[in-house]
Amino acid sequence: MNRIRVMIPEQILETRVVQTALGDFTIMLVCGDCTHLYPGMERYGVRVTDAMDRTVAEFLTNTYEYTPAMRLDAKSAAIKQADEWGEEFADHPADMVEYFSRLHPRCLSPAEAADVVLIQGSPRPDGNSGQIAGWIAAEMARLGGTMQIIYPDDMDIHPCIGCYQCYNSGFCTFADDMDEVFALVQRCRVLVVCAPVYSCSVPGALKILIDRFQAYHAHRNLMGGGGGGRQAGLFFGVCGREGDANFRPLREIATAFFATAGIPLSGTAWADGMDRIRDVRQVPGFAHEVQEIVRRALEQTGSSEKE
């Protein structure tokens, strides 16, 4: 069963006691203010505790889950759940306790901490974004650091459906390879994204991954997740057409992405005109620029022992 470790401020709306052969169970209807996350967001909950004040069942829902056309709202859904559990605990308390005891809280799998986690956003592993990733890997090897590379096109990642259920439990409704991504990001010092411009945006698989970081935002704010200590975000991009204006969409995406991830965007570098140049390795000084930005980010996120 999912239980929030870092609670938002809650108001108790209603309390009812159900007397059973197993003792009294208390059903509380609560409401929490989530306006610090989204304008007007409220989270309603139903919490069942036993005579020892232990939580045995919990239901959470928020106002952003419900579209204007739906005939149900968060408060009504919570009241309905409280009514149903009131009857079920009164009639079958042992069955209810046994059922909820088999549910275990979801958590991110432990991941080995890496100095740099790099998201290689191009579907072409040997393309120009892949070359940039190679420069960073070579620099990390020279520095004796550790690095993990994520390839969104090779992963099982379901698109975000905008259900907002992650703001109930701190986890996305889909359990897929994004849990591994979040675990890696949570423990890295520097998060790097390499991407080409595709139709005034980023490649599709990378966009899906970026959208799913909404759940990481929920996880950070509801469960205290996120990187321990200081982190830095870097974004490196390439595009076929000439002109710095072609990177405007990527700049906006980078700013929004790292804000959602709770990681300061500390550096960027851009290489345009790839339709003419073809090979990013032919751009004078670009490899050195990328590696220098990575070095500075590592220095910024150094451990406290080095400060």
Task: For residue range 192-214, list pLDDT tens digits in order.
Answer: 999 999 999 999 999 999 999 99
pTM for the full model?
0.90
Which pLDDT band holds residue 1 (cuts at 50, 70, 90)?
very low
Q: From its phi and psi, is residue 151 left (phi > 0), alpha (psi between -120 and 50) or beta? A: beta
Separation between Cα atoms, residue 197 and residue 248, nearest integer Å? 10
Predicted confidence (pLDDT) per residue in 90-147, tens digit? 999 999 999 999 988 788 877 788 999 999 999 998 999 999 999 999 999 999 999 9
- How far are the Cα atoms of 5, 10, 38, 188 from residue 74, in angstroms, in the given order? 21, 15, 15, 36
Phi and psi at residue 77, to the nearest 5°: -65, -40
Predicted confidence (pLDDT) per residue in 238-282, tens digit? 999 999 999 999 999 999 999 999 999 999 999 999 999 999 999
Q: Decide if 65 contacts 164 (C-beta within 8 A).
A: yes
Domain ranges of the chain: 10-101, 116-306
**Higher pLDDT, residue 2 or 46:** 46
Task: Answer yes or no: is pLDDT of 29 > 50.
Answer: yes
Q: Which residues share a beta bridge with 149?
A: 118
- What sign has the CA pseudo-torsion 127, 132, 135, 141? negative
End-to-end CA distance of the chain: 42
CATH 3.30.300.30 fits 116-306, yes or no: no
Residue with tokens 């550096």: 267
pLDDT for 19 equals 95
Which pLDDT band holds residue 297 (cuts at 50, 70, 90)?
very high
* Residue closest to 61 by CA, chosen among 30, 39, 97, 16: 30
Task: Answer yes or no: is pLDDT of 34 > 90.
Answer: yes
Q: Which amino acid is at 148?
A: Q
Q: Decide if 152 contacts 206 (C-beta within 8 A).
A: yes
Which pLDDT band holds residue 223 (cuts at 50, 70, 90)?
confident
Contacts of 217 (CB under 8 A, 6+ apart): 37, 260, 261, 262
pLDDT for 239 equals 97
Q: What is the DSSP letter of 256?
A: H
pLDDT averaged over every residue in the chain: 92
Helix ranges (DSSP H) in the chain = 74-91, 93-101, 128-143, 166-169, 178-187, 204-223, 248-261, 274-277, 286-300
